[in-house]
């Protein structure tokens, strides 16, 4: 293809440079965790190839060391490529091969650009972009889910559980259709959020075993051409040792390279979790609204001034940031689903797109959960007087009288109380023969929540 000029201090080579010049689309690079995953699988492959006698021990050792440095982030500046490139991710795969080969040469004492280590014959032995990029995507997503997302959701659940216990006895007006409904305690309301987050973790955990099946060993089309016996299995074992995650070789190579169903499955769980976090964050925004012209049940922590023109205005910015991140997760899922559908014959040609969106979603969701927990849920305060005043005027308290006085009489009481802006109890005392004690018992908001009155 002719000559190409590569920066003198670059660890990458001609194939990477051509991709730099060809693909200037977004300025978005692959995330750190993906480069980490590439380094891990390359180090594992070098270990297996060296043990099998397929590459010389000195070269194998240098390749393994260089790949480990890549996984640790030492050479991230030498991975300059745009995410939007060849659909197999071959450009970034060759980028890794070139960086590892040149760095391995330096480890062996060779001059930069004069490495005795070949990016294909040594670093890429027994591998293809078509099985290594899907493998690295699975490894990266597994690492990011384990190291960021699951701990963040666990922390969020813990914060919610703590607030649910703290506020279990505080009764408020429940709402359906955004309209006043029967009483509920803050603790009960928050317990619903606790359950949502707990279920999210269960769903994500349930999808991970399929993500742990790796495509390595399939090479170009899934048949495993140019790999020694059990290469995929041994690389997976080595990757498991390096990550502490129980990866195994896929039992369906022809699916693992032509489709990214496991990535799509995980993305679907991320989308569901994002919708749950949006619900929680938006409930907080609504309860905080006003405060004087809105619901004003709670006061969220004041994080920053809310307006460049209205002095003293404070907005629910943590909730808004979390919601935006979760909306992006939902949008990412669409890109992943469409990308997964573009697996023509033996190769999916949307691998970089799927990789970018999946890892972005995991990261955004983990960070959004942390933000919401630390900046909104931990520190919000209940405006007790306002909550109590609204509860006393709640016309839906009449529901507790309906079995005793009948639906029509209950409706008459509600209409009269609303028209005259009077408490339900006072009007019920006029329009029914119920004693004061019976009315107090039946209209006790605490009793309606299923809690014991204090």
Over residues 244-272, the pLDDT tens digits come to 999 999 999 999 999 999 999 999 999 99
Q: Which of 26, 61, 122, 177 is catalytic?
A: 177
pTM of the model: 0.96
Where helices occur in 304-392 by DSSP H, the ranges are: 317-340, 351-372, 384-392
pLDDT digits (tens, 9 = 90+) for 24-58: 999 999 999 999 999 999 999 999 999 999 999 99
Run of H or E residues at 174: strand 171-176
177 is catalytic: yes
Q: Going by C-beta distance under 8 Å and a sequence separation of 6 or more, which residues neighbour residue 322?
A: 277, 278, 281, 368, 369, 371, 372, 376
Range with the poorest average pLDDT among 71-80, 210-219, 293-302, 384-393 = 384-393
Query: What's the topology of domain 393-448?
Result: Ribonucleotide Reductase Protein R1; domain 1 (1.10.40)
Q: Which of 24, 26, 307, 418 is catalytic?
A: 307
pLDDT digits (tens, 9 = 90+) for 90-108: 999 999 999 999 999 999 9
CB atoms within 10 A of CB 311: 8
Q: Which sequence spans correspond to the domains of the chain?
A: 14-125, 130-211+252-384, 393-448
Identical topology for domains 14-125 and 393-448: no
The CATH architecture assigned to 14-125 reads Orthogonal Bundle (1.10)
Crossing angle (nearest 10°) for helices 32-51 and 57-72: 160
The Cα 352–Cα 330 span in angstroms is 18
Q: Which two tokens stand for residue 224?
A: 């495993």
Q: Give me the residue label for tokens 């000559």.
A: 3
Q: Which two tokens stand for residue 336?
A: 């992943």
Query: What's the topology of domain 130-211+252-384?
Result: Fumarase C; Chain A, domain 2 (1.20.200)
Q: 259 φ, ψ to 5°?
A: -145, 155
Is the pLDDT at 422 greater than 90, yes or no?
Answer: no
93 is catalytic: no
Instruction: Report pLDDT for 453.
Output: 65
Eight-state DSSP code of residue 302: -
Average pLDDT on 416-444 reads 93
Q: What is the CA radius of gyration of the chain?
A: 30
pLDDT digits (tens, 9 = 90+) for 230-248: 999 999 999 999 999 999 9
The Cα 47–Cα 65 span in angstroms is 10
């Amino acid at each position: 293809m002719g000559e190409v000029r590569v920066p003198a201090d670059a660890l990458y080579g001609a194939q990477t440079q051509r991709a730099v010049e060809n693909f200037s689309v977004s300025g978005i690079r692959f995330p750190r965790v993906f480069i980490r995953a590439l380094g891990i699988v390359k180090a594992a492959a070098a270990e297996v190839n060296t043990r099998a006698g397929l590459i010389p021990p000195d070269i194998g050792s240098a390749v393994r060391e260089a790949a480990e440095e890549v996984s640790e982030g030492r050479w991230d500046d030498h991975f300059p490529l745009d995410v939007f490139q060849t659909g197999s991710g071959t450009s970034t795969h060759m980028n890794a091969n070139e960086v590892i080969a040149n760095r391995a040469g330096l480890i062996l004492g060779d001059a930069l650009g004069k490495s005795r280590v070949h990016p294909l014959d040594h670093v890429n032995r027994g591998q293809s972009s078509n099985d290594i990029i899907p493998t690295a995507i699975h490894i990266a997503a597994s690492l990011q889910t384990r190291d960021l997302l699951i701990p963040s959701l666990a922390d969020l659940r813990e914060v919610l559980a703590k607030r649910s216990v703290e506020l279990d006895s505080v009764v408020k007006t429940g709402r359906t259709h955004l309209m006043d409904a029967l009483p509920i305690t803050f603790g009960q309301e928050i317990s619903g959020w606790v359950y949502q987050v707990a279920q999210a973790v269960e769903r994500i955990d349930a999808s991970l075993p399929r993500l742990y099946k790796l495509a390595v060993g399939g090479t170009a089309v899934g048949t495993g051409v140019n790999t020694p016996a059990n290469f995929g299995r041994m690389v997976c074992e080595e990757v498991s040792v390096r990550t502490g995650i129980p990866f195994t070789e896929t039992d369906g190579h022809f699916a693992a390279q032509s489709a990214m169903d496991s990535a799509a499955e995980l993305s679907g769980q991320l989308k569901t979790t994002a919708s749950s976090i949006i619900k929680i964050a938006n409930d907080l925004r609504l309860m905080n609204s006003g405060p004087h012209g809105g619901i004003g049940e709670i006061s969220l922590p004041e994080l920053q001034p809310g307006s460049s023109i209205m002095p003293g205005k404070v907005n629910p910015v943590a909730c808004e940031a979390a919601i935006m991140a979760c909306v992006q997760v939902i949008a990412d899922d669409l890109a992943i689903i469409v990308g997964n559908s573009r697996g023509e014959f033996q190769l999916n040609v949307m691998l970089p797109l799927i990789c970018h969106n999946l890892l972005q979603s995991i990261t955004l969701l983990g960070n959004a959960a942390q933000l919401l927990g630390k900046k909104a849920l931990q520190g919000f305060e209940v405006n007790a007087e306002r909550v109590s005043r609204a509860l006393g005027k709640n016309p839906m308290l009449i529901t507790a009288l309906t079995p005793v006085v009948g639906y029509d009489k209950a409706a008459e009481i509600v209409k009269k109380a609303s028209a005259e802006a009077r408490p339900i109890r006072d009007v019920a005392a006029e329009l029914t023969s119920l004693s004061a004690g019976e009315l107090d018992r039946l209209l006790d908001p605490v009793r309606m929540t299923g809690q014991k009155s204090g």
